[in-house]
Structure 1
Amino acid sequence: TAASPSQTSRQSPLVWNALVGRLDSGFPSWICRMDKYLVKRPRLSAEAPRNPPGQCDPADGVPPHDGGTSAPSVDTLGAISAATADTPRSASWSAPTVGNVLESASKNGEATTGKPSTHGRPEQTRPAPAKGNGGRGFLKSWESTYSWLSYNAQTGKVYCDTCVTATDKKLPLPRTSRDKDSLIAFVEIGFQNWKKALQRFKSHENSALHRAASIALTASNMGLNVASALSESKQNQMKESRKALMAILSSIRFLAFQGLALRGHDDDEGNLKQLLLLREADVPGLAAWLSRTGYKWTSGDIQNEMLELITHSMLRSLMKEVHETGFYAVIADETSDITTQEQVSFCLRYAKENLEVEEVFVGFYATADTRARTLFSILKDVLCRFNLRIENCRGQCYDGAANVSGKSGGLQALVQDIEPRALYVHCLAHTLNLSLQDLCTKIDVCRDFVSLFTDLVNFVKTSPKRLSWFQQFQKQENPALRQFCKTRWTLKACSLRSVSSNYSELTKFLFTLSSEEKNDTGAKASGYAKTLQKFDTYFLLRLMLLVFERLESVNTALQKKSLQFTRAELLVKAVEESIGQLREDFSSFWADVSDEEREMEIGAPSVPKRPRQAPRRYDEGSHAHDFNSPEAFYRQRFYLVIDTVHASLRTRFPPEMWHHMTQVEQFVTGETDSTYLCEFYKGDLNAVRLQLHRDMLLDIAKQRATSLVTFQDVVDLLSGKAGESLRVLLPEVVKLLQIAMTIPVTSCSSERSFSCLRRVKTYLRSTMGQARLNHTALLHCHKELARQVDLDLVANEFIHRTVVRENTFHVEI
């Protein structure tokens, strides 16, 4: 087997010249005749590619470039750009140190080479370089730009003096595939691809091989340890690289918990790139990192990986709290995103040892359908991912849809088949809203009023021209018109109030619009204005507002995360009593409405002249009641609305709903024993210790003259710093309170996550993947926890994932 060119060149310069076929005429003829016995490089046919796929021509001097997607090798010692930067030499001499080596190794590789003999090839007087490659040839001006270049007239190729000398001295140099190609092109065979000369010269000058050769050769000439010089240079550059990595991580975290997009249609115009450019002035070395030609670790895949690491770090701390409490409850709801993809939102509720309640969002999960079995599979997958046992679930809260609330095949039933102690709660906020829906659908006049009211507000607000015109009539202190939404829990009363405050101005505007516009718009405005002039319309507006304000104040209170079930029961019972009490207040209500009617010059109340006669097949021959006064007529309408709402509340909040929590409350306040609770929570509580600790609690409360009447009284006594000693003394009672407070009241946390979904996955970001959506949404929902994530630990985990990163970034211990 013939020796390689590098081995042959080290044995004899004559053999080297014979191998490349460039013998000088001064050598003996017998040497020239040896040329036919030497192994020559085979000529490639015109059809065959010059190199196998994935490789480059060694004459090009650089490995194949994949656009920045291929990772550098582990052994690359050339990531020492700081060591090869141009540094002016000092006039005074000092003892050689590693620092002097870094200063002496210049960017152009001017390590004291003294123009060596080009790896065994004596440099000869240069004749006019032969033209080739389309008439191109070597230019002498290149040597002034790249001082390490050396042109060999015999071979017609250029070599790198620095790398040749370092190779001859057998100094430690990188041996990766990319460095090997550069070694072949500029050390062993030579470079002559003049078409790409400037590009390849610059690439070689910035290569790991050339930089390592410059530092190693300078250290060798100064009598220093080469490995030590390379090691310190490498460590310094890895530390600088870590600073850039930390800037990237912190920027991604900031954009994520602010709910902002990282990328754009053009990556260079994306928020992440622009934020990093903005931070160049504050982060040393970031500008150099962003301008490098190699890996920058800012691609879309890397962004996803960093988001995943930050999110997982946050979730680990979050799940640590859940595991410490021991018990949890599940809250779930479904919605569709901007792409109509069904998303299931999951939240967990738990009570900490100090009796503080937390509800935390844990992610969105895409699903093709919302059948109970499918949702149950997703739920089990979620619990498995967080290492939570379904046997520790003590509550579940969903809306009233049949797929989740069904008693036989619903999600709650499937969970209770495995864990019967996981009590199901129909979201109280949804239930209260359904009571309002009953009012708006079961009574004809209320249904018609809501439809009219919705159309009227939309008629004004959907036209910029009409809205601007109306604002000229509106008083400065009056609120703006708000649209009426049937599904928004706390905006109905606000919308009604906005119309009530602007009633006179709205009527004047509609009459003016009717007289000015002679088209369909004017006709609609005239109809709306005449309707507002009727006493019946204003009476219904005030009556609906009277009911909605009371119910929505309760709905607002129900949405608190810290609300526990017994407190919710008190709120619902209070609003039932308040609605029932309104029956006694008709006289005062009628007087107020009548006074306002006279002030606003609305039509006077009257009894309908021709009451509608129902067909006999429906009324069984009964006669309609004749009202002798307008007050009597509107009294009947008032009672109808009040009774409908009151009956709906009693039906949708039956006493059985509160049975379990009533038993808990009666036990902790001393009214009953622990029989029911110990039977229900068998395995969770120790019956003997629970009874003992309850009795001790009552004795302590009696000694302190503290009245324990409700469940909340017991919680107040044991919570906070004041109750810390009691919690240590009475652990079994505390455990019972924790389990009871774990039972959810509403699914509002899942509803809030839908707002997050609409902020994160917008029309412009509709192609976002599910994993990226989940990570971004979690960071956006848990901003405070995201700020507490230790980015140094995240960076270390990111670095240790691949050996390439370990060779590029410094690891903080």
Structure 2
Amino acid sequence: MARQTSASGFDNDDIVIATHPHQPSAATFRFPKRSYGTKLRSFQPSWFEKWPFLHYDETNDAVYCHTCLSAHFMKKVNIPTADDSFIRRGFTNWKNATVSFKNHEKSACHLAATEIIITLPSTIKDIGNLLSKEHATSKRRNRAAFYHILSSIRYLARQGLAIRGHGDDSDGNFIQLLRMKAKDDDNLSSWMTRKDNSYTSPDIQNEIVELMSSHVLRVIANDLRKSPFLSIMIDETRDCANTEQVTVVVRMVTYEFDVHEQFLGMCGVPSVDAQTLTTAIKDVFERFNFSFNKLRGQCYVGASAMSGAKSGVARRILEIEPRALFTHCYGHSLNLAACDTMKQIKLLKDALGVSFEITKLLKYSPRREGIFLRLKENLPASTATGNRVLCPTRWTVRADSLASILETFQALQETWQESIEVAHDTETKARIGGVEAQMNTFDYLFGTMLGHMVLRHTDNLSRALQDKGLSAAEGQQVARMSLETLKSLRTDQSYELSWLNVNKKTEELEIGKPMLPCRRKWPRRFEEGEDGYHHETVRSY
């Protein structure tokens, strides 16, 4: 209905009235009941058909006259003749609703507002068009040119392209796009030659983008308000300006069980404590006129500020709406599980560390990467896969990086041999030599192949969990299936096949044979009883 409301009703000069009254249906909104003596009464949706001017406010459970409101805020209705209950306070007496609606429909205030808002605009025409045909033609041409401006900005915004350049605005995408269109449109070409009122300045561009974004948000908010239940997902991150940004996403399910996730925006916060984040969520619900009564789920990461049992965001929201079930983000949980597991296994931890160093040596040196690309193309079994950077934070996107290393293993070995000859400083030579030595060990190849085998399943699970149509129960089922798959690999038959593959790869790459580590004598404090177990074969180890 409006951008701002006050506690006493719609009594604010800065309010912007919507084009149409808000009239929710019984299928999408449960109208609350009020006590009148021994009976409970509520607003009836059938009243919208009899009195189309009624506007329902879900927050206050009150109705207003949309026509009188529009005329009042346009300063076109005298205050003494205004019906205060349908403009300022809101009408809530459902017991005598039909009688009051009929009386208001016949009141002088409503008749005057109807004449000003509905009747006169439909009959009055542009005086300029009536007096001058040239004026009408000029207006039509101006509108056509302005439409090109709007469509160009919408195209650039839709594709995520920059509107202006770093230097002169005439070299930006927006002006160049208009000039391209002007070659096929004489009207737009003459418009572009205007010195004043061409509506192409940066301020106008920003204003148009802001209006478009506001329209998109209104459409999204209207769809979300129709949903019977909502869930909210937020996460915070730090942008390049070192400002904390909170990402807000609302999830809804229609009556046809269609799932929609809508990104509402990013808001800057001074800190990421529980109180500040909870205030940000409340502000979003207030701005979009969402009701906490519809909130049934909340999804955050496992940080204490988010999921703290005593004062976290989840606990604070539960105090407002106890039915808003908290779910720890499945993707974040999977990432933590993969991280903890890999770090506890020394073989995998060392292999991933060497792989990360490999990607850094290539990506941070155009010369070494150029050598690698040249050698990769010259290999007999050259593949199109390039070297991919190993993400330092996300563990569920590393399978592709390990696969690229395994596929171009021989090219990487030759790259180190050629790069160490052209390296100048001692530190770089030491790093290259260390990586080359590690890659020529059986342990690194075994750990990389094992890590790829495990992480490809977690990567697939991560992609499945990111599907917006996936429910919480389905997410748990997919996770259980992935666990069963990993457990099925922990058999003697699977290990035998993996061992044969590693040895075959070792012979192809001419890597050193595996060796048992030296037996270490147990400390005296552990010498009670039998000696510790020692592996007899490399395969057993």
Q: How does 1:13-162 map to 2 (within 5 A)?
A: none
Cα distance in 1 for residues equivalent to 2:217 and 2:539: 62
Q: Give the aligned partner of residue 169 of structure 1.
A: none
Q: How does 1:371-410 map to 2 (within 5 A)?
A: 371-410=273-312
Unaligned runs of 5+ residues in structure 1 are: 1-225, 634-813
Cα distance in 1 for residues equivalent to 2:139 and 2:510: 81
Q: Give the aligned partner of residue 168 of structure 2.
A: 266
Q: CA deviation at 1:593?
A: 1.6
Question: Any idea what SS the aligned residue of 2:199 has?
Answer: coil
Q: CA deviation at 1:425?
A: 0.9
Question: Any idea what SS the aligned residue of 2:326 has?
Answer: strand
Q: CA deviation at 1:392?
A: 0.6
Q: 1:621 to 1:286 in 2, by over 3 A?
A: farther
Q: CA deviation at 1:487?
A: 2.6
Q: CA deviation at 1:458?
A: 1.3
Give the TM-score normalised by structure 2: 0.70
Alpha carbons 1:478, 1:502 under 8 Å: kept: no
Question: Any idea what SS the aligned residue of 1:562 has?
Answer: coil
Q: Give the aligned partner of residue 390 of structure 2.
A: 484
Cα distance in 2 for residues equivalent to 1:511 and 1:312: 58
Q: Give the aligned partner of residue 649 of structure 1.
A: none
Give the TM-score normalised by structure 1: 0.48
Alpha carbons 1:479, 1:501 under 8 Å: kept: yes
Cα distance in 2 for residues equivalent to 1:388 and 1:233: 49
Q: CA deviation at 1:455?
A: 0.7
Q: Give the aligned partner of residue 295 of structure 1.
A: 197
Cα distance in 1 for residues equivalent to 2:530 and 2:288: 65
Alpha carbons 2:420, 2:433 under 8 Å: kept: yes
**Residues 385-413 of structure 1, C-alpha deviation per residue, up to 9 Å, x if partnerless?**
21111111111111112111112211111
Q: Give the aligned partner of residue 536 of structure 2.
A: 628
Alpha carbons 2:357, 2:435 under 8 Å: kept: no
Q: How does 1:589-600 map to 2 (within 5 A)?
A: 589-600=498-509
Alpha carbons 2:347, 2:443 under 8 Å: kept: no
Q: CA deviation at 1:515?
A: 5.2
Q: CA deviation at 1:493?
A: 0.3
Q: What is the one-letter code of the residue matched to 1:488? A: R
Unaligned runs of 5+ residues in structure 2 are: 1-126
Q: CA deviation at 1:530?
A: 1.9
Q: What is the one-letter code of the residue matched to 2:495? A: F
Q: Give the aligned partner of residue 117 of structure 2.
A: none
Question: Any idea what SS the aligned residue of 1:537 has?
Answer: helix
**Aligned residues between the structures:** 407
Alpha carbons 2:153, 2:209 under 8 Å: kept: yes
Alpha carbons 1:373, 1:411 under 8 Å: kept: yes
Among 188, 192, 195, the residue aligned to 1:286 = 188
Among 594, 604, 615, the residue aligned to 2:513 = 604
Q: 1:497 to 1:228 in 2, by over 3 A?
A: closer
**Residues 288-336 of structure 1, C-alpha deviation per residue, up to 9 Å, x if partnerless?**
3332233222233322221122222222222222222221110111112
Q: Give the aligned partner of residue 257 of structure 1.
A: 158
Q: 1:411 to 1:535 in 2, by over 3 A?
A: same
Question: Any idea what SS the aligned residue of 2:219 has?
Answer: helix
**Residues 542-568 of structure 1, C-alpha deviation per residue, up to 9 Å, x if partnerless?**
111111111111111111111112221
Cα distance in 2 for residues equivalent to 1:506 and 1:395: 48
Q: Give the aligned partner of residue 674 of structure 1.
A: none
Q: How does 1:571-586 map to 2 (within 5 A)?
A: 571-584=478-491, 585-586=494-495
Alpha carbons 1:516, 1:522 under 8 Å: kept: no
Question: Any idea what SS the aligned residue of 2:489 has?
Answer: helix
Q: Give the aligned partner of residue 567 of structure 1.
A: 474
Cα distance in 1 for residues equivalent to 2:514 and 2:462: 34
Alpha carbons 2:318, 2:324 under 8 Å: kept: yes
Cα distance in 1 for residues equivalent to 2:342 and 2:189: 62
Alpha carbons 1:263, 1:272 under 8 Å: kept: yes
Cα distance in 2 for residues equivalent to 1:285 and 1:449: 65
Q: CA deviation at 1:355?
A: 1.3
Q: 1:402 to 1:387 in 2, by over 3 A?
A: same
Question: Any idea what SS the aligned residue of 1:631 has?
Answer: coil
Please give the root-mean-square deviation of Cα atoms over the aligned residues, in Å: 2.5
Cα distance in 1 for residues equivalent to 2:317 and 2:220: 24
Among 452, 458, 468, the residue aligned to 2:354 = 452
Cα distance in 2 for residues equivalent to 1:368 and 1:622: 61
Q: Give the aligned partner of residue 325 of structure 2.
A: 423
Q: What is the one-letter code of the residue matched to 2:383? A: E
Q: CA deviation at 1:618?
A: 9.2
Q: 1:577 to 1:291 in 2, by over 3 A?
A: same
Q: CA deviation at 1:339?
A: 1.4
Q: 1:438 to 1:617 in 2, by over 3 A?
A: farther
Cα distance in 1 for residues equivalent to 2:414 and 2:359: 15
Q: CA deviation at 1:604?
A: 1.3
Q: What is the one-letter code of the residue matched to 1:596? A: K
- Using CA pairs below 8 Å that are at least 6 residues apart, which structure has the higher relative contact order? 1
Alpha carbons 1:396, 1:425 under 8 Å: kept: yes
Q: What is the one-letter code of the residue matched to 1:600? A: L
Q: Give the aligned partner of residue 221 of structure 2.
A: 319
Q: 1:299 to 1:517 in 2, by over 3 A?
A: closer
